[in-house]
Amino acid sequence: ITQNGGSALPVTTDVTERKQVESLVDAAVAAFGRIDVMLNNAGIMPVSPLDRLNVDEWDRMIDVNLKGVLYGIAAALPYMREQASGHIINVASDAGHKVHPSEAVYAATKHAVRALSEGLRQEVKPYGLRTTIISPGAVESELPDTVPEEDVAEEMRALYDEHALSPDSFARAVAFAIEQPEEVDVNEILYRPTSQNL
């Protein structure tokens, strides 16, 4: 960002800690005077079949993938309401549109993000705010590395090795949503690699 002439303020944040998310947003507003876009993008994917009972992993996915989004909304919304402008972008997944074996809890968190985002969209219209859900398919990231079960991890790595898009595809989707005129609210973007059949 800075190499391209922009300003950046890195703030290490654990999205499962509400106060840390609030501090992140407060720091951004203190540094830049306002918050134009809140991108809730943190996520983990320690998927496994339900009968393996990895309940701690279920809790972690709910804490990061769903509560982290809620905390981001809670931190940004008061500023955006006061400004009467802003854009909240919540990252879901193509798993929020279709459930696959071993991904039930992960998909549930992503379905929840979609439902939450649609409710948010309806509620913030009086304040002139925009909302977008971005649901990517396989994109190169560390997500496959968070799969704890070796057999599931091998399948996931094979899918990503064969089909994953570069992270630039995600950046372009975000830019597309943000760069629309204020009267245009891109509510959802679902995209996958052309070769990904799932």
Just list the catalytic residues: 106
The closest alpha carbon to 74, from 25, 28, 32, belongs to: 25
Q: Is 104 exposed, middle or buried (0-12, 13-18, 19+ CB in 10 A)?
A: middle
Given a contact cutoff of 8 angstroms between Cβ atoms, the answer to whether 132 and 188 are in contact is yes
Question: Quick one: how far is CA 26 from the chain centroid?
Answer: 20
Bridge-based pairing state of the strands 188-191 and 87-91: unpaired
C-alpha distances out from residue 133 to 9, 19, 38, Å: 24, 24, 12
Per the structure block, which two tokens stand in for 133? 């859900």
DSSP codes, 67-100 = IHHHHHHHHHHHHHHHHT--EEEEE--GGGTS--
- Distance between CA atoms of residues 89 and 79, nearest Å: 15
- According to DSSP, residue 2 is labeled G
